Amino acid sequence: MTQVKKRDSWGSRLGIIMAVAGSAVGLGNFLRFPAKAVANGGGAFMIPYFVSLFLLGIPLMWIEWTLGRYGGGFEHGTAPGIFHSVWQKNRFIKYFGVIGIFGPLVIFIYYTYIESWTLAYSFFALLGKYSKLNSQLAMQSFLSGFQGLEKNQYFHGLGPAYLFFLLTFTLNIWVIYYGIKAGIEKLCKWAMPLLFIFGLILMFRVITLAAPDLTKPAWNITNGFGFFWNPDFSALKSAKVWLEAAGQIFFTLSVGIGVILTYASYLSKGDDVVLSGLTAASTNEVAEVILGGSIIIPAAFVFFGPQEIQAIAKSGVFNLGFVTMPLVLNKLPLSALLGFFWFFLLFLAGITSSVSLAQPAVAFLEDEFDISRKKAVLIFGAVSFILCHAAVLFLKNGVVDELDFWGGTFFLVLFATIETILFAWVFGMEQAWDEIHKGADMRVPVVYKFIIKYITPLFLFFILGMWFWQEWLPIILMKNVTQANYIYILSTRLGLLAIFFILALLVKIAWRRKKRQWEQIS
């Protein structure tokens, strides 16, 4: 008689909340959010941001928690199995679920490398390696040298960056190796409180900044916050601002990726998803809106003023985090310690997210092929380590941006659309509403019954439609790709197609295998 392998589980309710919040709280909360807000109307950006939160983010969060718990009851921890559990009569629906493994894997490929920069800079801050740099140009050169984009007086090759990548990758695999309870949950239980402690220290230091230049009294922290929060309402006329806000909500809540589905699959039928999901989402919003909105932009305003800060905000998230912020902290007492707090905060946000990105692929091997946890992690580690080198070696050729677009933008919205239709229209809104409230400690406002069934899918179709209307042809034809990078981008796309095809083939093999097992039993 075949022994049924017991699935892993969370150790506590706090553990799952911290883990989901850890997945959501990432580099985007502290780097991407402030840059997007300032570049898209300041405080006006928060109007479409909160509209997207209530009409997209929160509904999708409840959808994914509920679908994940439901699929976990059938011993499925990833989207192919969960989708199949919801719509068993459709033999193709499981292949749409491949996106829920593909997306996290693609993001993991480049995210881990970027995460390793934050660990490296944590050490650089303590060692004072960039403490004497006092200009944007010098700090940018330091970053480019570290990334291997140029050889300069600071770095002579990719060696230091690769060393920290190896260390970061190993830490990720080590956490994942120990499983849900002893690995991911344990990490998030200490990492998330520490992240908030560092964030609050930095926010308090920013709030207490005095204007450093007495000849420019307007360059003060009050005006710094005003620069971030004062609304430019004319920006609301632009569809791009609304799309950017919706995209930020996807990033910040980790919805549409497939991670929450997997995390929620380890819940039992009586575990609450309503309040737990809302608590995890609220924790993320505090990290993003309160902490993320109170550190970089207001601090940079005090030292660089209203003219330069606009250019800084639009220069990209890497420049904000790795160029502007170190320059600001270099001007303060205890700069080495504050620099460490900043970059280690980013590292904690990064690693709690990256371990979650690995879990869908690992869970797929465990659940659908009955592979042990340790063996599944070793397989994932070997394959992903090879794939990560595309981001490490070809950063300058636009490979990371390409991976981010497909894995972290397009497929994310597509997957969210599929799961929303599946939940509200195939599973059925009445049955879905009952499923949401099993074991719930609070009732979802009844208006969300209408929102989930009609508003959320329409909003998602609008986002996809706008993309196809405005951007799909130039992107598909690679109109904006330089001739020098053309072969790298083409190779990346072919590689992504190969990964997707292999995952779909594995799903096919897994279902054939399960079918044979059921036939033998019967």
**81, pLDDT greater than 80:** yes
Quote the pLDDT of residue 1.
41
Closest CA to 164 of 127, 124, 198: 124
Q: Flag whether 17 is in a domain.
A: yes
3-state secondary structure of 255: coil
Distances (CA, A) of 432 to 353, 419, 420: 28, 12, 11
Mean pLDDT on 499-505: 97
**521, pLDDT greater than 80:** no
Q: pLDDT category, 5, cuts 50, 70, 90?
A: low
Total-model pTM? 0.94
Quote the pLDDT of residue 344.
97
Quote the pLDDT of residue 214.
66
Mean pLDDT on 29-58: 89
Q: Flag whether 251 is in a domain.
A: yes
Q: Flag whether 119 is in a domain.
A: yes
Across the chain, what does the average pLDDT equal?
A: 91
3-state secondary structure of 489: helix
CATH classification of the domain holding 140:
1.10.4160
Q: Flag whether 8 is in a domain.
A: no
Alpha helices in 131-286 (DSSP H): 136-146, 159-177, 179, 186-207, 221-229, 239-253, 259-264, 274-285
245, 239 Cβ separation under 8 angstroms: no
Closest CA to 136 of 316, 396, 341: 316
**317, pLDDT greater than 80:** no
| Region label for 90, one of left (φ > 0), alpha (ψ between -120 and 50) or beta (otherwise) | beta
Please tell me the least confidently modeled range out of 97-111, 142-156, 172-186, 381-395.
142-156
118, 347 Cβ separation under 8 angstroms: yes
Highest-confidence segment of 440-444, 471-475, 476-480: 440-444
User: How is residue 390 written in tokens?
Assistant: 């595309």
What is the domain extent for residue 108? 13-521
- 211 exposure class (CB count in 10 Å sphere: 0-12, 13-18, 19+): middle
pLDDT in tens, 44-76: 889 999 999 999 999 999 999 999 999 999 999
Q: Which residue has the tokens 């060393």?
A: 163
Quote the pLDDT of residue 309.
76
**111, pLDDT greater than 90:** yes
Alpha helices in 74-158 (DSSP H): 79-86, 93-96, 99-127, 136-146
Specify the number of domains making up the chain: 1
